[in-house]
Structure 1
């Protein structure tokens, strides 16, 4: 999006114009003063465009591949890599500490696929009850759906909230935006708990393996 600087009197602050397109595709002009222009620039540049990446981020690509029977071990690996990259980029755009969330997800990816491959979802038979409840039927339970929604949808929802895509473009009421954040955050915390269990379990496996070699 291009910002146009308007010529003003020397003693006045310069004024910038950011063209914005509404849902009826009619162009309207929003006038901003100089300090606000820079803050608004990123919103105008990115805006609704992030939602073109939603199918990858929320896993629609993997679902479509399974429905079309176009699956393979490499495809399963690539699907997770693309999902992690997409979510990682969004988290890093939102917060300075977003890389921490992405780092945990990559650690879990390494732990699970290193030992279990594409069938990692079906290999939690000896896990705690609460982990099995999340993983049951390939996440196709209320608890599993909440967990996956927190993992995949929360960063997109936060992006829409922070850059006002939910309110200005999709006209989602503010109370529903807040409720969505709370519910999705609960799901993400549950996902984080499962992620930490996976990491700790893998570390224990590595330690036990080293001790067996010594003996």
Structure 2
């Protein structure tokens, strides 16, 4: 597999997700527009893996790229919404690096993994079991956080 992997349909969906994320962050101060664009980006996350398998376009790059987009998306939100956001996303990135060093078996936690990595992987596994309910809970949490953030911003 060469450069053609960059034009696989699931990876094109990834590029669209990144574009939606960037545009949503530009409109962060407009909650409805921000949440709509960000929500569409999150919804697209469910299609890339499905289409990769359906179209027989799975690749190591695609699997890696999907996780990177997820981390960038969540990281941007965490950093915008909380002073602890940088810590949360740092733990996620450390887990990503530690697990992806193992190659194709990265999703299988090892006995030797640090406890924090095992905890992050357990949460990701739980979220992936119930994607629709997790998506809506995730959105409700961030809507509430976004409104609270805007209210505190106005008071300053």
Shorter-chain TM-score bucket reads 0.5 to 0.7
Q: Which residue of 1 aligns with 2:65?
A: 78
TM value normalised by structure 1:
0.40
Taking the TM superposition and a 5 Å limit, the aligned residue runs for 1:37-56 are 41-43=29-31, 46-56=34-44
Aligned equivalents of 1:150, 1:104: Cα separation in 2:
24
Aligned equivalents of 2:69, 2:109: Cα separation in 1:
22
Aligned equivalents of 2:144, 2:67: Cα separation in 1:
25
Flag the 1:151–1:44 CA change in 2: closer, same or farther, 3 A: closer
Of the three residues 96, 103, 111, the one matched with 2:98 is 111
Check conservation: 2:75, 2:89, Cα contact below 8 A. yes
Check conservation: 1:91, 1:102, Cα contact below 8 A. yes
Task: Name the SS of the counterpart of 2:91 in structure 1.
Answer: helix
Aligned equivalents of 2:86, 2:99: Cα separation in 1:
20
TM value normalised by structure 2:
0.53
Task: Name the SS of the counterpart of 2:58 in structure 1.
Answer: coil
Runs of 5+ consecutive residues of structure 1 not aligned to the other structure: 1-40, 165-215
Flag the 1:72–1:146 CA change in 2: closer, same or farther, 3 A: closer
Runs of 5+ consecutive residues of structure 2 not aligned to the other structure: 1-28, 148-156
Aligned equivalents of 1:156, 1:80: Cα separation in 2:
19
Taking the TM superposition and a 5 Å limit, the aligned residue runs for 1:203-214 are none
- Between stretches 104-113 and 64-73, larger displacement belongs to 64-73
Check conservation: 1:90, 1:156, Cα contact below 8 A. no
Q: Which has the higher helix share?
A: 2
Are 1:65 and 2:57 an aligned pair? no
**Larger RCO (CA under 8 A, 6+ residues apart):** 2
Check conservation: 1:90, 1:155, Cα contact below 8 A. no
Superposition misfits of 4+ residues, deviation over 3 angstroms: 122-127, 143-157
Q: Which residue of 1 aligns with 2:106?
A: 120
Flag the 1:47–1:87 CA change in 2: closer, same or farther, 3 A: closer
Q: Which residue of 2 aligns with 1:156?
A: 139
Taking the TM superposition and a 5 Å limit, the aligned residue runs for 1:188-199 are none
Check conservation: 2:127, 2:134, Cα contact below 8 A. no
- Between stretches 105-114 and 94-103, larger displacement belongs to 94-103
